[in-house]
Amino acid sequence: MTISPSASGQLRFLPVARPGAGEVTFRLPSPDQPFVRGTLTTPVGKVPQVRAGLNLRDRLGSWLARWNIGRMHFTVEPGLYALGRPDEHSPVLVSANYKMSFDVLRSALPGRDLWILVLDTKGINVWCAAGKGTFGTLELLDRIQASRLEEVVSHRRLIVPQLGAPGLAAHEIRRHSGFRVIYGPVMASDLPRFLDNGCRAEPGMRVKDFPLSERLVLVPVEVMQALRVGLPLILVLLAVSGLARNLAYGRAVEVHGLPMALAVLAGILAGTVMTPLLLPWIPGRFFSGKGVLTGLVCFAGIFGFLRHRWPEQGLMESMALLLVTLTIASWFAMAFTGATTYTSPGGVRREMLRAIPLQAAALIIGLGLWLTALFS
Amino acid sequence: MSELTYLEDVVSLAYDRNRCIGCGMCVTVCPHQVFALQRGRADMVARNHCMECGACMRNCPAGAITVEAGEGCVRGVINELLGIEGPCC
């Protein structure tokens, strides 16, 4: 099936071009993947059959991805999979080829018989991929065709995660493939109840909240990404601090460099750990403002404890350290908007246009004061 | 914990109630319950909860909803402001 020119006019807003725009070649995913336990013979060939349970290797992969290790290469092959022993009447669930998404889905459905159609989202989770359009109308149409799904199942229904909706138009899928999209719950863990309810969502299943547990799992990635910038910055600042006037290099690093390194780390701690965890309880709407508040707390905590180690530190240098902590905290708190479940691009744009000039000024003044304190 | 809300009066969400056919797709796909079906048509009941994901616009068969959907991350906005195509999340 191909999309007619008149129909493609209605698909013009989709960011991804239909590759080749011609016939899609039939292809089943390789059974040679560690989570595949066998194959299921179907009218179109042997479909890989996956385990519902997660083993140590699956869990380790997810844990590493949470620490930003191998996260962009944590994928499964796109295409059709079987969970349990599905037949032509079994439901078809659509997912992304980020392995964590796929694992969350299959592990939520032990003892069930159903089909999983994995879209090629370039290893990105459903919601983010939907925002980018890779979890989208054209990809789903192509994947239906490439899997010859209409020969595998006799019904014409697809259960698509609700958070995939930004990427695809249910009415377009129906028009071009004959498959009716049923939007499933936000959370895969609600799928068993959703399926048992005859594919009806209870009210709470449609809402995306952002509880502490979900904010907590995001913290490691935020910390790792911040350190990728923060550690080189700290090394540069330590190297510069050694050149301070009137002191031997090593002693100068100890007296001026270490507090500055701590100031940077305090900012990262405030922006990437404290702000996400305490998010609903920190006053204010602007994330950059929340970061200033948590930055103040972290700065006061750390330097309150260690103040006695640098008795000769002057006011100018203390102010410099404070400004650096607040700026870094504010920046990384603002960056956390990208990971939340409720901030809008329009809001982030407005916040950035207001905050970045202030952050830049604070950083320049902070570093300026520091250099002045060290070298004059 | 009460519902988290970001900045107010900033989203680009626009809705033409006259075009609504009452199918309820916007109510279904919105993860923040911005729309509710009332007397056979959708009403925008919580505009400030909109995160501009674009799910309602894309799934509205009547074309009654428009929103400047995009990726709400700092990197994405920097790329957009600088006019470059770059990697995001």
* Residues in chain A closer than 8 A to B7 (CB atoms): 285-286, 344, 347, 350-351
Mean pLDDT, to the nearest integer, of A159-183? 97
Q: Do B68 and A346 lie within an 8 Å CB cutoff?
A: yes
Q: Could you tell me if B34 lies within 8 Å of chain A, comparing CB atoms?
A: no
Separation between Cα atoms, residue A357 and residue A368, nearest integer Å: 16
Residue A117 CA to residue A81 CA, distance in Å, equals 6
Q: Are residues A366 and A228 in the same domain?
A: yes
pLDDT for the residue numbered A246: 87
Residue A335 above 60 pLDDT? yes
Rounded CA gap, A23 and A16, in Å? 17
Q: Does B9 touch chain A (CB under 8 A)?
A: no
The answer, yes or no, to whether ipTM is higher than 0.85 is yes
Kindly determine whether residue B55 and residue A165, on different chains, have CB atoms separated by under 8 Å. yes
Based on the structure, what is the number of domains in chain A?
2
Pick the last residue of a domain from A206, A232, A257. A206
- Mean pLDDT value across residues A305-312: 90
Are A105 and A188 in contact, with CB atoms under 8 Å apart? yes
Distance CA B79, CA B85 (A): 6
The 3-state DSSP class for residue A81 equals strand
Asked if the model's pLDDT at residue A278 lies above 80, the reply is yes
Mean of pLDDT values over A238-248 = 94
Q: Do B7 and A286 touch (CB under 8 A)?
A: yes
A contact test, residue of B2, B23, B29, B67 with most A CBs within 10 A? B29
Q: Does A186 lie in the same domain as A53?
A: yes
Q: Are residues A141 and A245 in the same domain?
A: no
* pLDDT greater at residue A21 or residue B28: B28
Both A195 and A284 in one domain: the answer is: no
Residue A177 in this model has a pLDDT that exceeds 90 = yes
Which pLDDT band, with edges at 50, 70 and 90, does A8 fall under?
Answer: very low
User: Is it the case that residue A72 has pLDDT exceeding 80?
Assistant: yes
- A11 & A94 share domain: yes
* Contact between A293 and A334 (Cβ < 8 Å): no
Q: Which two tokens stand for residue A182?
A: 């049923």
What average pLDDT score do residues A73-96 get? 97
CATH number of the domain where residue A172 is located:
3.40.50.11600
Residue A188 CA to residue A96 CA, distance in Å, equals 13
Q: Per residue in A100-136, pLDDT tens?
A: 999 999 999 999 999 999 999 999 999 999 999 999 9
SS (H, E, C) A127-175: HHHHHHCCCCHHHHHHHHHHCCHHHHCCCCEEEEEHHHCCCCCHHHHHH
CA-based nearest residue in chain B for residue A201: B28
Domain finish residue from A206, A237, A256:
A206
Q: What is the residue range of A105's domain?
A: 5-206
**In the structure, what pLDDT confidence band is assigned to residue A69 with cuts at 50, 70 and 90?**
very high
Q: Bigger pLDDT: A6 or B27?
A: B27
Based on the domain organization, do A220 and A198 belong to the same domain? no
Q: Is A16 helix (H, G, I), strand (E, B) or coil?
A: coil
**Same domain membership, residue A201 and residue A245:** no
Return the pLDDT at B87.
58
**Identity of the residue in A132, A183, A343 whose CB atom sits nearest the CB atom of B72:** A343
Residue written as token pair 């993860």: B31
Q: What percent of chain A has pLDDT over 90?
A: 91
pLDDT of residue B78: 79
Set out the domains of chain B in order of their start, with CATH numbers: 14-82 (3.30.70.20)
The per-residue pLDDT of chain A, averaged, comes to 93
Domain end position, chosen among A206, A224, A255: A206
- The mean pLDDT of B43-60, rounded to a whole number, is 96
Are residue A271 and residue A308 in the same domain, yes or no?
yes
- C-beta atoms of A165 and B29 within 8 A: yes
Between the alpha carbon of residue B19 and those of residues A204, A301, B8, B28, the distances in Å are: 28, 57, 26, 18
Q: Higher pLDDT residue, B51 or B76? A: B51
pLDDT digits (tens, 9 = 90+) for A122-131: 999 999 999 9
pLDDT tens digits for range A202-220: 989 999 999 999 999 999 9
Write out the two tokens for A38. 């066998």
A265 and A179 in a common domain: no
- For residue A51, what pLDDT band results from cuts at 50, 70 and 90? very high
Residue A122 burial (CB count, 10 A):
15
Measured between beta carbons, which residues in chain A are less than 8 angstroms from residue B86? none
Question: What is residue B80's predicted lDDT score, i.e. its pLDDT?
Answer: 76
Q: Across the interface, do A211 and B5 touch by the CB < 8 Å criterion?
A: no
Residues of B in contact with A343 (CB under 8 A): 6, 51, 72
Q: What is the mean pLDDT of chain B?
A: 88
Flag if A338 and B71 touch (Cβ within 8 Å). Answer: yes
Q: Please indicate, yes or no, whether residues A51 and A199 belong to a single structural domain of this protein.
A: yes
Q: Of the candidates A122, A177, A174, which has an alpha carbon nearest to the alpha carbon of residue A146? A: A177
- What confidence score (pLDDT) does residue B88 get? 58
Mark whether A176 and A228 lie in a shared domain. Answer: no
Please tell me whether residues A113 and A225 are part of one structural domain.
no
The mean pLDDT of A172-192, rounded to a whole number, is 97
**CA–CA distance, A155 with A149 (Å, rounded to integer):** 10
- Give the pLDDT of residue A203: 85
Share of chain A above pLDDT 70, in %: 94
Work out the average pLDDT over A58-73: 94
The Cα A316–Cα A304 span in angstroms is 17
Looking at beta carbons, which residues of chain B come within 8 Å of A130? 53, 55
What pLDDT is recorded for position A22?
Answer: 59
